[in-house]
Structure 1
Amino acid sequence: MPPTLMSRVTGVDLSAMRESYAGGDSILDPADATGGWLPLFERWLAEAIEADVPEPNAMVLATVAPGPDGGLRPATRTVLCKGVDASGVVFYTNYDSFKGRALDANPVAAVTFPWIAMHRQVHFAGTVARVTAAETVEYWAQRPRGSQLGAWASEQSEPIASRAELAHRFAAAEVRFGGAPSDGAVPVPPHWGGYRIVPDTVEFWQGQANRVHDRVRMTAPGFAPVRLQP
C-alpha cells in the first residue's frame, strides 16, 4: 500500500505508528464508579494535574450544525472546562461564534478529555443550556484583563482581513475600557457567556496492553456503571 500524503511529507510510516499501553496498576473497574461519575472524574482530573498533563482541563467539544448541503454535520474544537459539578461540565465562549450558534440551534454536545499521557480519556454527551448570568459574571471577574479585552475585540468565527486589523480592534478595546485594573472593571460583553453540558452519558476509558482496554459507561437516569468491550 503506498504511503499517504502525510507519510511522504513527514517521512514516517503512519500505519506503523502505535503506542503500547502498559496499563500496570491503572485498572478501571465498574466498582470504581459506584459513587457516581463525579467522584471518579474528580479523582482522575486531580491525578492528571498532579502528573503535569498539559492543560488537563482541555476538552474536545463536538457540536452539530447545518452543512453546505443542508444536512447536519459535526464540528469539533478544543475548549477549556471552567467548572464541573453534579449538574454537568461548563465552558465559556462567544455566543455568536460558530459553536455558539450551533449549540443554540441544536442544544446537544459531546466532549472528550484526552489525557493521552496517562492513557486515559473521559467522554461526556448530553444536552446543553446557557449558564445563568450570575455564573458568567462570577467567572468573567476571574479572567485576566487581556482576555476580557480580547472578548470585546473579536467577533469570533467571523472573517477578518488581517492580523493587523485584529490588533487594531484589541487596541480600540484598550482605549475604550483602559488597559490597567486601575481603569475600572471591564463589563461582560452581551454576546459572551457560558454553556453547561448536562450529561446523559459519561464514559471512562483506560488504556491497557494489547488493546484490551478498560471502558466503563454510565447512562442516565441512574448512571449505573457498565463495563464495555474495548
Structure 2
Amino acid sequence: MSDVQRFDYAGTGLEDSVPQAPWELVSRWVREAQEAADERADVYEPSAMAVATVDRTGLPDVRTVLLRFLDPRGPGFVTSRHSQKAAQISDTHLIAATLTWAPLFRAIRFRGVAQQIESDITDEYWGGRPWGSRISAWASRQSHPVASRQVMEDTVRDLAQRYPDMGNPDDVPVPPDWVGYRIHPQEVEFWAGRPDRLHDRIRYAAASPADLDDAAAWSTTRLQP
C-alpha cells in the first residue's frame, strides 16, 4: 500500500532494571495515563481495555470494556451475566486483556484466568454510576438480539418512570445480572514504543496465576520487538 501512514514512536522506554513484581509498573502506568487524560486532548478514555476470551470450541473473541477495578490481584471490569464474555468465562475461565495508550507509546498485556469480583465491591461501584448508566444496564440484555433501537429506548423510558432520578445511589437497584470479573494474571507484558521500531518489551511470567505484588512469584524476560 502506497498510502500507509507512518508514525515514529518517541517513548522513553523501559530501563534494563525493572521491579521484581509487575504491580509497581502497572499501577504507575495506569495512574499516569489517567493524569495525561486530564491534561492532553489526545489521551481519551484511558480506562479502555480490550478483553479477549475463548468459547467452548476454542474460537477467540475480543471486545473493549472499561477498567473499573485495579489492585494487586489484577485489573477488573463489570458486565452482564447474559453477555457472551460471561458465558465464555464460565466455559473456560481463560482471559487476556490489553491496555493501550498510543499517544503515550505504552501498552500493558495481561493473560490469566477470570475470577468473579466480590458482590459488595461491585455493588458499591454500581451506586456510584450515573443514573442513566444504571437505567441502561437494566434495559439491556447484553449481547442478545433486539428488534430495533426504539425497543430499547421504550424500555429505558419505562424504567426511568419506575426508578426516577432522586440523586441517591439506591435510586436504581442492582440488577440480578450485574457481575464483575478480575483478571488474575499469569503473564504481564509491558510495551514501550521507541524510535525506529526498536521497542522495549518486558514480560513477567509466573508458574500459576499470582498477585501482581508477589515478588517471589514472578520472573522477567526482555523480548525482542
What is the DSSP-based 3-state SS (H/G/I as helix, E as strand, rest coil) of the residue aligned with 1:160?
A: coil
In the alignment, structure 1 residue 47 sits paired with structure 2 residue 42: no
Calculate the aligned-residue CA RMSD, in Å. 1.7
2:10 is matched with which residue? 22
Q: Deviations over 1:145-183 (max 9, x none)?
A: 111111111111111111111100111111222233369
Select the residue among 26, 35, 46 that pairs with 1:56: 46
Rg larger in 1 or in 2?
1
Change (3 A) 1:212 1:174: same
Aligned to 2:76: 90
Query: How far does the alpha carbon of each residue in 1:26-64 deviate from its partner, in whole angstroms, 9 at most, with x for none?
Result: 120342323x21111111122222222211111101111
Does 1:76 pair with 2:62?
Answer: yes
Distance 1:180 1:18, change over 3 A: same
1:206-225 deviation line (CA, Å, top 9, x unaligned):
01122111000001142122
Contact 2:204 2:220 in 1 (8 A): yes
Partner of 1:8: none
Q: Deviations over 1:58-99 (max 9, x none)?
A: 110111114xxxx32111111001111111111001111111
Mean Cα deviation higher: 81-90 or 45-54: 45-54
Residue 227 (1) aligns with residue 205 (2): no
Cα distance in 1, alignment partners of residues 26 and 48 from structure 2: 14
Aligned residue pairs total 211
Which of 86, 89, 94 lines up with 1:108 in the alignment?
Answer: 94
Q: CA contact under 8 A between 2:127 and 2:170: conserved in structure 1? A: no
| 1:197/1:183 CA distance change after superposition, 3 Å | closer
Residues 1:139 and 2:125 are matched in the alignment: yes
> Is the contact made by 1:30 and 1:226 (CA closer than 8 Å) also made in structure 2?
no
Unaligned runs of 5+ in 2: 38-42, 208-216
Q: 1:147 & 1:98 partners in 2: Cα distance? A: 20
Q: Does 1:177 align with 2:177?
A: no
| 1:154 matched residue in structure 2 | 140
Choose between structure 1 and 2 for higher RCO, CA contacts under 8 A separated by at least 6 residues: 2
Correspondences of 1:29-44 after superposition (within 5 Å): 29-34=15-20, 36-44=21-29
CA distance in 1, matches of 2:61, 2:168: 40
Partner of 2:192: 206
Moved over 6 A (4+): none
- For structure 1, the residue ranges without an aligned partner over 5 or more in a row are 4-12
CA contact (8 A) 1:33 1:225 kept: no
What is the percentage of aligned positions where both structures have the same residue? Answer: 39
SS at match of 1:84: strand
